[in-house]
Amino acid sequence: MAAPMALRRGGRLLSLLRACPRYSSRSSRPAAGLLKGRILPYLYDRFYDMEAFIDFGTKLTGWNLERKNTHYLRIQEKYGDDLAAAVFALMLKGGVRFRGQTEWYREHNRKRFCVDLVNYQGVPLEAADFSGSIISYEGLGSLVNLKALKHLDLSRCPNVDDWCLSRLHVFGETLEELSLAGCPRVTERGLGCLHHLESLRRLDVSDLPSVPCKGLVRILLEEMLPQCEVVGIRYDEDELTLPIEPDVHQGQTELLREAARVQKTREIPA
C-alpha cells in the first residue's frame, strides 16, 4: 500500500508543478511580442538618461585629464621651474634626470626623490621621459620654462597631437633627442613644426598611424633638420606613392621619386 500512496503523492506534486507558472513550459518562454513591447518602451523612456550619463562620463574624463596636467605652482614658486617639472613628470609615472647625474628618478624611487628634493634646487633638468603617459597640451606648459632640456620622450602618448608639437619650439637651442614613436594623433602638419629644433640630433618617428606617405615625410624632415638623424621611417617605394588626382601632372610624382632615390643613396647604413 505504501508504494501506491507514494505514486499518488508524486503524481499530485507533478501536477502542481505543471500548474505553477514558474515551472510551466509555456510561461518560461514569454511571447516575443510581449517581450518586445516591454523592452522597447523601457529603453525609449531611458534613452535621454543614458545619453546624459554618457555625456557626464565624457566630461568627467576630460576634467580628470585636465586635473592631472595642472601645473604645480606652489612647487614652482618655492623650488623653481626644474623641480616643478620633475614632480609633474613623476606624478604622471614618468622619469627625470638632472644635469651631472646618470641615475633616473622614476615611480619606484619617487619617495627618495622627495627626500633629495632640496639637493637638486638650482640644478637644471636635462632629460624627461613621459612615454605612455597622459600628458597633453596643457601639461607641456610645465616644461616650457626649462632652459637645459636635452632629451624628451613623448612616445606612445595618446594625447600628444600637432598642437603639442607646436609648443616645442622653446627648446630649439637645447633639445637634442626627441621621441614621438607610437603617438596616434601626430600628423605631418605637426612634424612640420619641428623645424625650430636647430640642435636636434636624433628624432624617432616610428609607428605614426596618422602620417601618410612616410617616405616623403622623412625626406621633408631631413630637409628641415639636416643635422638630425631621423629613425623609424624607411625609404620604401610603396610608401612614396602619392594619393594625387588623375588631372595632376605626373611629372611631380617622378620628381619626388627621383628625390627619394637620391636621398636613399645618401642614407648611412645601420
Q: Render pLDDT for 60-69 as a digit per residue (tens, 0 to 9).
A: 677 677 777 7
pLDDT tens sequence across 139-165: 999 999 999 999 999 999 999 999 999
Angle between helices 47-68 and 32-45 (to 10 degrees): 50
Q: Do residues 147 and 200 both lie within one domain?
A: yes
Q: What is the mean pLDDT of residues 193-198?
A: 94
Q: Do residues 110 and 231 both lie within one domain?
A: yes
Amino acid at 206: S
Q: Do residues 191 and 149 both lie within one domain?
A: yes
Domain count, the chain: 2
Which of 6-15, 66-75, 86-95, 187-196 has the lowest average pLDDT? 6-15
- State percent of the chain over pLDDT 90: 46
Q: Do residues 130 and 115 both lie within one domain?
A: yes
CA neighbor of 88 nearest in space, from 37, 128, 61: 128
Cell 628634493 belongs to residue:
117
Cα(204)–Cα(255) distance, rounded to whole angstroms?
26
Cα(56)–Cα(216) distance, rounded to whole angstroms?
42
Q: Per the domain annotation, does 176 fall within a domain? A: yes
Q: Do residues 153 and 223 both lie within one domain?
A: yes
**pLDDT confidence of 249, banded at 50, 70, 90?**
very low
Is 254's pLDDT higher than 50? yes
Q: Per the domain annotation, does 7 fall within a domain? A: no
Q: Per the domain annotation, does 9 fall within a domain? A: no
Cα(87)–Cα(139) distance, rounded to whole angstroms?
12
Q: Do residues 53 and 170 both lie within one domain?
A: no
Is 250's pLDDT higher than 60? no
pLDDT of amino acid 263: 53
Cα(100)–Cα(124) distance, rounded to whole angstroms?
9
Q: Do residues 170 and 240 both lie within one domain?
A: yes
Task: Provide the b/e sequence for 234-245 (b: ≥16 CB within 10 Å).
Answer: ebeeebbeeeee
Q: What is the mean pLDDT of residues 229-253?
A: 59
Q: Do residues 57 and 75 both lie within one domain?
A: no
Higher pLDDT, 113 or 160: 160
Q: Per the domain annotation, does 140 fall within a domain? A: yes
pLDDT of amino acid 164: 95
Q: Do residues 56 and 93 both lie within one domain?
A: no
Q: Per the domain annotation, does 123 fall within a domain? A: yes
Which of 68, 90, 121 is at the close of a domain? 68
Cα(111)–Cα(179) distance, rounded to whole angstroms?
27
- State percent of the chain over pLDDT 70: 64
Which of 19, 44, 68 is at the close of a domain? 68
CA neighbor of 61 nearest in space, from 49, 72, 50, 69: 69
Q: What's the mean per-residue pLDDT of the chain?
A: 78
Which of 68, 88, 120 is at the close of a domain? 68
Q: Do residues 54 and 92 both lie within one domain?
A: no
CATH of the domain at 140: 3.80.10.10
Q: Per the domain annotation, does 4 fall within a domain? A: no
Residue 153 burial (CB < 10 Å; 0-12/13-18/19+)?
Answer: buried
pLDDT of amino acid 7: 43
**pLDDT confidence of 135, banded at 50, 70, 90?**
very high
Q: Per the domain annotation, does 25 fall within a domain? A: no
Tell me which residue range forms the domain holding 51.
Answer: 34-68
Q: Do residues 43 and 163 both lie within one domain?
A: no
Q: Per the domain annotation, does 59 fall within a domain? A: yes
Q: Do residues 213 and 116 both lie within one domain?
A: yes
